[in-house]
Amino acid sequence: MNELLGFWTVWIKPSAELPAVQWSILLALAAAAGLLVQRYTGLPKVIGYSLVGALAGLAGFTGAVWPLQGTGLFLLELGVAVVLFEAGGRISLRWFRHNPMVLVQSLAEAALTYGAVLWAMGLMEVREPVAQSLALLAMAASPGVLARVLIDTRASGPVSERAMVLSTLGTLYALLLCTASAGMMERSASLLANPSMRDTFYPVLVVLGLSVVVGGGLALVLRTALRVMSPTSENTAILLLALIAAGAALATHFGGSAPLAALLGGILLKQLNPRPWSWPRQMGTASSMLTMLMFVLVSVVAAQADWSRPVAGLVLALVVARMLGKIAGVSLGNAGSGASWRQALWVGFAMMPMSSVALLLVSQYLSASPVLGQRIASIALPTILLMEVLGAVLATVVIHRAGESSKPQTLISRISKGPVHES
């Protein structure tokens, strides 16, 4: 790709530069591929985005170099922040008071996923710090991928709602625990020399405290704005996106977590403004553009990983263990949660996608410890790319099997052998 595009660099004005042209063409191809994939197979557009990004990464696309930094890292953080803010805005803490078993189900799913992946990585003789980090990463689902699947399949129902809530909670746990793990990993040398409780937990408390402060401030400002501005106004949409971007930049700059701050901001705003609310229509195009850029960027970066046979075996073991852990956790915690056992099985499969949140957490480990982070990334990046595509396919099939898609029958719905309706 570099040789083919090198000829054109002499014709590109300094104001444009080659990366801008490359990204423009790549996003145009991704948009077309996403539409064609959805039209002819019934699969969500994210499949097309991911495939185009993966092919570009394998072809040597230089617009996204791992580890991400600068503008590329901020755009990924912004895309994740927008997705998690919207996902957090769907969670009502009041609902958990009426149905606390959903929280139990979420904790059981996260704990069994962690245990299953840690055990599998131990069997594959992976070093303990790397295995623990991969197990924590496996807890994260992808609310972004699942949200795109639900939008493209026009799905609604108990399976869709439960999968979205559990995916968001699992992502919250992963953000908290991976932040703690990376913070202690970064200070491991000083801990060995002078171990103390303060040195162990101080970085964690700083990150979590700053994220809570930024998220709370974001929620308060937006709650005040919604009192005087119309939720459907384009000015509200601009304000919303600008505040999320500012919150992401501030949280990262001062040592917090941008995605964690956005997720907490969405949850807090839902409590301060409990009336049903949704993104303004004008927000749709900007949000969709950021989402598409996020998925393409993730697949471009992940495709540049080492795809050797030993790594493939570790990735396969991690994927299988993660799948069994999530399905077992959701099923075991299902008693008294208001869902049938068949619905619990569908929810477990729908939580398979991994994407941008996991990539950001891997980048966090790499910044904390280049040596261990590189080993974590060598296994995590292929897993993320695989589960971004395969997870979206599984979630789509599950939605059709649960009978919650309102779209007409397509290839994917016929492959799933017809819907199974649940009362």
Q: How many other CB atoms are found less than 10 A from the CB of residue 246?
A: 14
CA distances from 206 to 176, 180, 185 (A): 12, 10, 15
Question: In the chain, where are the structural domains located?
Answer: 74-295+309-407
Q: What would the two tokens of residue 94 be?
A: 């009041």
CA angle, corner 350, sides to 359 and 37, nearest 5? 75
How many Å apart are CA 147 and CA 231, to the nearest integer?
21
User: Using an 8 Å Cβ cutoff, are 112 and 325 in contact?
Assistant: yes
Q: What is the pLDDT of residue 41?
A: 87
CA distances from 169 to 22, 134, 139, 370, 384 (A): 36, 18, 10, 29, 19
Whole-structure pTM value: 0.87
Q: Going residue by residue through the chain, which has 423 residues, state the pLDDT in tens, using 9 for 90 and above.
A: 555 555 555 555 545 566 777 888 899 999 999 999 998 888 899 999 999 999 998 888 877 778 888 778 888 888 899 899 988 888 888 888 888 889 999 999 999 999 999 999 999 999 999 999 999 999 999 999 999 999 999 888 899 999 999 999 999 999 988 877 887 775 554 443 444 545 556 666 777 788 889 999 999 998 888 888 877 777 887 888 899 888 888 887 777 788 999 999 999 988 887 665 555 555 566 678 888 889 999 999 998 887 888 899 999 999 999 999 999 999 998 887 778 889 999 999 999 999 899 999 999 899 888 888 999 999 999 999 999 999 999 999 999 988 888 776 565 555 555 544 443
Q: SS3 for 347? A: helix
Q: What is the pLDDT of residue 18?
A: 63
Determine whether 220 is exposed, middle or buried from the number of CB atoms within 10 Å of its CB (0-12, 13-18, 19+). Answer: middle
Q: What string of H, E and C letters represents the secondary structure of 140-188?
A: CCCHHHHHHHHHHHCECCHHHHHHHHHHHHHHHHHHHHHHHHHHHHHCH
| CATH level 3 topology of 74-295+309-407 | Na+/H+ antiporter like fold (1.20.1530)
Determine whether 257 is exposed, middle or buried from the number of CB atoms within 10 Å of its CB (0-12, 13-18, 19+). Answer: buried
Q: What is the dihedral of CA 287, 290, 293, 294, to 10 degrees?
A: -100
Q: What is the pLDDT of residue 189?
A: 44
Q: Which residues contact 337 (CB under 8 A, 6 or more apart)?
A: 99, 101, 102, 104, 105, 344
* Cβ contacts of 1-5, under 8 Å, gap ≥ 24: 1/56, 1/59, 1/60, 1/61, 1/62, 2/60, 2/62
